[in-house]
Amino acid sequence: MFPSSSIYRIDHYLGKETVQNILALRFANGMFEPLWNNRHIDHVQITMSESVGVTGRAGYYDGVGAARDVIQNHLLQLLALIAMEEPVRLDADSIAAEKIKILSATELLGPLSETSARGQYGAGVENDVPVPGLADESGFPADSATETFAAVTVGVATRRWAGVPFFIRTGKRLTRRTAEIAVTFTPPVHGSPAARVAVVSNVLVFRVQPDDGIELHIGAKRPGDGMHIQRVSLGTDFRSVFEEAPEAYERLIRDVLRADATLFPRREEVELSWRIIDPLLEHWGTFGRPDTYPSGTAGPASAERILSRTGRVWRPL
């Protein structure tokens, strides 16, 4: 277990502005609450991808891998923020109490052989430059079974979220650097077969990296004859609207000096996160090496099958 890593690094990946933006968008806008349930939400995707590899970090990363390094702490924290009930107050204790409730109700969905995937990047191209695979990186053994890509499906066993799958993925040497939460709403059911052809799923995207922001994807009629519906995006980049926030670690140190624990997961949160992830690690431990995927791609083919088996697809990277 790596609780100290989880506590120290949350601000680097999420940042206080990100945490507060998610909470503000959810609870300061009344339009979302009536839709924030399993009657209106089809599924949620949480993604954190990096375009760089693990060069120079072999001493830490080998034997740790993507699930421990990112999913266990950072992405499960995002899940808790997006799924939690409104806290009594927007202070550290109240927020932590609601996150703990969600993490207590979160569980892996199986069978894990079909609802999870792990991969290890091979040789490929990063920013138009040829790069080696992990096995050829300095400090990594040629037979390393450390995953640089991990994807898993979880559910939240509450009345609000029962039946809604949360698809979580992270990886290195992928197409681009991004972190986001994408909430896909249930497509509307129209009366006529002709109208059903025009259905477009609405998606609300909380952008975390590289720029905080929000996007709403809706269907609009394309100009011309006929009822041809096309997806269009409405959104904003918070940096273009508000002044730039302090750097992540600058804010972290300031919070320590002010005794503000909002960004620091409680011990119970960390233990609950490990309770969720440990069975996945045990399952993967019974297999050999992860699937190989070329650097500069969206990950292994096994990750695509997680969603395709349910008739869904990952958002493009």
> Which pLDDT tens digits describe the chain residue by residue (317 residues)?
333 334 434 444 556 667 778 888 889 999 999 999 999 999 999 999 999 999 788 888 988 999 999 999 899 999 999 999 999 988 889 999 999 999 999 999 999 999 999 999 999 998 889 999 998 988 898 889 999 999 999 999 999 999 999 999 999 999 999 999 999 999 877 655 555 455 678 999 999 888 888 999 988 888 887 777 788 889 888 877 776 666 666 766 777 777 776 667 889 999 999 999 999 999 999 888 899 999 999 999 999 999 999 999 999 98
pLDDT at 224: 80
Record the pTM.
0.90
Does 74 qualify as catalytic in the annotation? Answer: yes
pLDDT at 12: 44
CA nearest neighbour of 70 among 92, 54, 87 = 54
pLDDT at 151: 98
Give domain 3-185+205-216+237-295's CATH superfamily: Dihydrodipicolinate Reductase; domain 2 (3.30.360.10)
- Catalytic choice (12, 40, 43, 74): 74
